Amino acid sequence: MAGKIIADTLEHSTAGSLTTDYVVNGSAKSWVNFNGTGTIATRDSLNVASLTDIGTGNHEINFSSAMSDVNYSRSTHMQRENTTASYANIDGSYNNDTYSTTTLEVRTVYMNAAASGAVDSPIVSNQIFGDLA
Amino acid sequence: MQTPDFKGTHLWDRLCWAKENLDGVQSDYRVVYEDSIDECAKILVPDPNWMACALQGGILPPVWVYHELAKDEASEGFKKHTRGYLLHETQPIEAMTEEEAIEYLIMKDVPQSVWQEWDSGNKPKMVICRKDQLPQTREWRNAWRISDELAA
């Protein structure tokens, strides 16, 4: 590709230097922001081919460029839709949920003093860090 | 805009180029499928940036590449992909129509057991529809099934 720079170190005039390993290993390899309510829809993303709506509070993210293994790191945020106070909004998974190099299952769950359960969220965002295949 | 010659370029770099240079395309198509009689219907939603890549051409690898990687991953003792180069070094496919892109996406992201025999049972296991054909609310979402009327 045109404009290629090959460098092992980036050096700032006063703030010191940084090896490009930090950039390569520390960059998100996939991210997505989507509406998990109604007929779900992606707002914006990188390296995502599709989403699968599996059920209430349960979605799969399908990657375009596969990860090299399943030891990648994920983080997810969800926003609760209604005004009921929630003490925690959680992304979790079960043992048998999909967790492959091309697909990741994400669950959005709420928990407060009165109740807990799966819930659809108007804003779900997810990031993946790790090595690409 | 002309797609650069991407053969041999890492797929992730191609996706970054597309993100910078192409506008996302929100498709109205949805794929509804059932892969287990014990679970509700699932709905596949194309990503707008991915759809832009598919319509542009010269960016995405052929779908068989994903099937090869899936075979590797399903093999006993799989730890890490050793044939990731297939994603990057295989000649990217030409521009697709939106309908062809949906077919590609079905073969990539819907289980093979569904799309290979989608119409072999008492009723279809998979339906391609428009977004506005789906229920507008998510009431009883965990009980949604493909309508029996489609079998007629």
Q: What is the pLDDT of residues B113-137, one digit of tens each?
A: 999 988 888 888 999 999 999 998 8
A19-23, A88-92, B23-27: segment of lowest average pLDDT: A88-92
Q: What is the pLDDT of residues A114-125, one digit of tens each?
A: 888 888 999 999
Q: What is the pTM of this model?
A: 0.92
Q: What is the pLDDT of residues A52-101, one digit of tens each?
A: 999 999 999 999 999 999 999 999 888 876 666 665 667 777 777 778 99
Task: Locate A40 and state its tokens.
Answer: 């779900």
Instruction: Please indicate, yes or no, if residue A14 is contained in any of the structural domains.
Output: no
Q: How many domains does chain A have?
A: 1
Who among B15, B42, B141 is closest to A52 (CB)? B42
Residues 6+ apart with CB under 8 A from A10: A17, A18, A19, A20, A23
B 91-150 near A (Cβ less than 8 A): 105, 108-109, 131, 134, 136-138, 141-142
Instruction: Please indicate, yes or no, if residue A24 is contained in any of the structural domains.
Output: no
As a whole number, the mean pLDDT across chain A is 87
Does the distance separating the beta carbons of B42 and A54 come in below 8 Å? yes
B 50-89 near A (Cβ less than 8 A): 50, 53, 60, 66, 69-70, 73, 79-81, 84, 87
Report, in angstroms and rounded to the nearest whole number, the Rg of chain A calculated over CA atoms: 18
Instruction: Please indicate, yes or no, if residue A3 is contained in any of the structural domains.
Output: no
User: Whole domain around residue A71: which residue ranges?
Assistant: 30-129
**B26: contact with A, CB 8 A cutoff:** yes
Instruction: Please indicate, yes or no, if residue A4 is contained in any of the structural domains.
Output: no
pLDDT at B110: 97
Per-residue pLDDT band for B43 (boundaries 50, 70, 90) equals: very high
Instruction: Please indicate, yes or no, if residue A36 is contained in any of the structural domains.
Output: yes
User: Measured between beta carbons, which residues in chain B are less than 8 angstroms from residue A62?
Assistant: 108-109
Who among B48, B105, B142 is closest to A56 (CB)? B142
Residue A118 has a CB neighbour count (10 Å cut-off) of: 15
Reported ipTM: 0.94
User: Measured between beta carbons, which residues in chain A are less than 8 angstroms from residue B103?
Assistant: none
Contacts A–B by Cβ distance under 8 A? 118
The DSSP result for chain B, as a single string, is -PPP--TTS-HHHHHHHHHHH-------EEEEE-S-TTS--EEEEE-HHHHHHHHH-SSSPPHHHHHHHHHHHHSTT--S-S-THHHHHSPPPPP--HHHHHHHHHHHHS-HHHHTTTTSSSS-SEEEEEGGGS-SS-TTGGG----GGGG-
Domain boundaries, chain B: 11-151
Who among A47, A54, A101 is closest to B12 (CB)? A47
pLDDT at B151: 53
